[in-house]
């Protein structure tokens, strides 16, 4: 179920990125031809990119695509290398938990202040909350990795 959720999220993010890319190309063509530009394009990209970029994290974590420094294994042996890897996993989990907390504070501030985009007047808080949810999903995935709860033996083959 989690794997399907992560795939769906990644597909939605890719679709949003393609829409923004298409709008950007249309805007460039319109500007080059001297026509009126796409109104509010900056507003749309302002909140879409945060969610799109954040949506890459759960897939990357599940695939094990994050950076791993294996120099400890070569210097001090496999056991120390595994401890270093576990420590890195715990730090990654802490990063996503802390980032979720920090982003939620920003979302609360945006919501209380009624912050909107400058041209289209779109509320920003829901988009920050969406980013918070994606970060929390990433924290859940990383929690599974830290405590060995993922039942995928080789995640690179599954995703």
pLDDT tens-digit readout, 16-42: 999 999 999 999 999 999 998 888 898
Tokens coding 134: 């994606």
Contacts of 99 (CB under 8 A, 6+ apart): 135
pLDDT per position as a tens digit, 36-89: 888 889 888 888 888 999 999 998 898 887 767 677 777 888 888 888 888 989
Which pLDDT value is given to residue 151? 59
130, pLDDT greater than 70: yes
134, pLDDT greater than 90: yes
Which pLDDT value is given to residue 153? 46
Would you call 116 helix, strand, or coil by DSSP?
Answer: strand
Q: Using CB atoms within 10 A of its CB, is residue 147 exposed (0-12), middle (13-18) or buried (19+)? A: exposed
pTM of the predicted model as reported, rounded to 2 decimal places = 0.85
């Amino acid at each position: 179920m989690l794997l399907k959720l992560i795939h769906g999220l990644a597909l939605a993010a890719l679709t949003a990125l393609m829409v923004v890319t298409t709008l950007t190309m249309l805007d460039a063509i319109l500007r080059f031809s001297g026509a009126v530009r796409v109104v509010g394009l900056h507003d749309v990209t302002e909140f879409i990119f945060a969610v799109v970029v954040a949506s890459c994290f759960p897939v990357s974590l599940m695939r094990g695509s994050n950076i791993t420094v294996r120099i400890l294994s070569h210097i001090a042996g496999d056991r120390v290398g595994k401890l270093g890897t576990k420590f890195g996993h715990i730090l990654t989990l802490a990063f996503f938990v802390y980032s979720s907390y920090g982003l939620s504070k920003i979302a609360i501030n945006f919501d209380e202040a009624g912050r909107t985009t400058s041209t289209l007047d779109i509320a920003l808080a829901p988009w920050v909350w969406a980013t918070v949810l994606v970060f929390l999903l990433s924290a859940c995935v990383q929690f599974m990795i830290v405590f060995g709860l993922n039942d995928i033996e080789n995640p690179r083959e599954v995703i």
